[in-house]
Structure 1
Amino acid sequence: KKDTDIKDLINSFSSSTNDIPSTKKIIITFLNVIKDRKPYTSSYITDELTKLFNLTEEQRSRSYENSKDSIFITRIRSARYSLKNSNYIEEISQATYQITSMGLDLLDDNQKEMEEELEDIEEVIDPFEIMSEKSGELRKELAQSLLQQIKKAHWRKLEYIIVELLMAMGYGDGKITGKTNDGGIDGVIKEDKLGLDNIYLQAKRWDNSIGRELVQSFSGALDDMGAKKGVFITTSHFTKNAIDYADRLQSKKIILIDGERLAKLMIDYDIG
């Protein structure tokens, strides 16, 4: 039997889309860890795989979004199930595995034959990866739908939304200001019960980009109110000059929220 270089095998397979090894890489490396035909526990195999892939503690423990499940451990489980299902390994006792004759034969194959056989292995589709991918697609579609609905609605709807949103985010009680004599202020959030510290809001339901002039005008409105905090929200986007201007402000803080971020926050806080 030829001596297989595990490191070369790892590098020979295509990499995953991130820095955590794919299930395909794990399958062959898994077999190499136990190729001496001795029984090994799943914890030992996991530790050996971590060393062979030279993973950091962060990479090993990194989890899926909105889940505590480790990506690496989940992929090991998928690889283990595929190997067991294809009779390349057997579980001789609880969480203890041993390579089979078929597994040894697979390791004895050349690179091309090995890859061809791997294609035939029934791999488990990682449910967390599928959920994460589909969740991202759904969020994107929902965000686009939300923005379209806002743009079609009465202009005042956006003002109510931004006040609801800031309140849902925990910034205090809020209200819509009257359109007359508001100085460009569409809403106000009272961060404390007495209104000693307020956040002033402006909403623009636009398709065109928001430039520096409009942000500067909002800044002037804050000065007239003696305010130090403002949030400017639009259904479109801000120009680079507008963003740079807001970032350079020293005497006050203006947060700019474009349509994409607005929609994401609405989804996150169940608004609209």
Structure 2
Amino acid sequence: MAGTAGVPEAPEIPEERPRARRRGRTTLLIAGAAVLGVVAGTCTGYLIQAEREPTKLASLSQPTPAQTKGPAPEPLSAAQDRRVKTDGDLRKLLLPKPSGVKTAKWLSSVDGWLDLPAYADTYAKPGQAFGSAISDEFRRAVSTGWTRGQADFEVRLTQFRQEEALGAAAVTSGNQSWAADESSTRSWPVPGTGDGMAYVHDKPKTRAGYLPQYYAEAYAWRGDIAVMIWVYDTKPVPKKTIMDLVERQMERL
């Protein structure tokens, strides 16, 4: 029967389900006998096992395997294991200063080493750079530099722990993005690096009272080390200059 408008219809009452058939007495007696049989068998098994001699368990400690005789193997050389080279004195992997140049007095490194605060202080926003370096798992950094005429050169190697992320690759990619965004910029891939790049900026930076400053830069990475190279001059920096520096530095890694 249809319900009145606005009032829901009452649900139909389902038919009562048929009750389950009760088990007969014979079925219960058979089931009870089966249960008693299982219990009796289990008890008999326990009694038999209790009269047996205990089985001796095998020893948990195993004999130490015999060591092979002969001299211990020689450790891998730096040519065979790259970590032998990169875990040592990182300054030895830096490009050597050319002959006849002046040592740079403007470097932030102390005896070639850059600790984390000094590393962050080389950026325009040191506080932000400090936090980013921690996130990137900064391990250590070294740098060298020199002055030849009016040109200044700096080569920096930054090493990362790379336990949670590929810090060297990430930092290189970020630096490349900043360099590529500069106006009047030409760029070239660095041979043998996969994704290393070199940049020459044809538009100089100018400040009142100062000579115009042209510059070039290069960024690449290998393993856990990021390579950063800068050249500043009062005249345009040739492509050959920056490419020669980054290629020779990558060969040392």
User: TM range, normalised to the smaller chain?
Assistant: under 0.3
Q: What is the TM-score with the length of structure 1 in the denominator?
A: 0.26
Q: What is the TM-score with the length of structure 2 in the denominator?
A: 0.27
| Greater strand fraction, Structure 1 or Structure 2 | 2
